[in-house]
Amino acid sequence: MSGAIANELTCKELVELITDYFEDRLPTDENRRFELHVCTCTGCRVYLAQMRALVRAAGRLAEKDLPAAVRENLLRTFRDWKRGAAEP
């Protein structure tokens, strides 16, 4: 949600800043703007919680945890994507 308050963070900005927030790289004022926005935006609060859960879950995964079929599927997708990107 965004509106008439000039220095208020928008939802779009929050999405762009979330990695820096997690990595504690935001300047203190920016960090406060980030958290102020979260306090008054249900959507961003949910998004932040989802991202936190994702980071926690992904942090526990090792390469060997990946089922062979999923691994193969991912590799195929990346190969196709690279091949597509290389085409003129």
Partner 1 sequence: MIAYKFLTAGAAAPFTGRPWPLPGPRAPGAWIVAPQGDLARYGVHACRVEDLSYWPDEELWLVELGGTILHQPCQLVAARGRLLQRIAAWNVDSAREYAVACAWRARDVAVEALGRGGLVAEEAALRACMDLVSLQATATTLAGDGPRDATRGLVAYVAGAAMRARQGRYPEASLQCAHLGAALAGGEAGAEHERAWQARWLAHRLELREIAARSGVGTLSL
| Alpha-carbon span 79 to 77, nearest angstrom | 5
The residues in 18-57 that bind partner 1, with binding defined as CB under 8 A, are 28, 31-32, 35-36, 38-42, 52
Locus of tokens 């949910």: 46
Could you tell me which stretch among 1-9, 10-18, 57-65, 69-77 binds partner 1 (CB under 8 A)?
1-9
CA distance to 13, 19, 64, 65, 83, per residue, from 71 (Å): 33, 26, 10, 10, 18
Least distance in angstroms from the C-beta of 40 to partner 1: 4
Structure token pair of residue 4: 């008439």
Query: For residue 39, which of 50, 48, 29 has the smallest C-alpha distance?
Result: 48
Least distance in angstroms from the C-beta of 62 to partner 1: 24
Least distance in angstroms from the C-beta of 24 to partner 1: 9
Q: Does 84 bind partner 1 (CB under 8 A)?
A: no
Q: Which residues bind partner 1 (CB under 8 A)?
A: 1, 3-7, 28, 31-32, 35-36, 38-42, 52
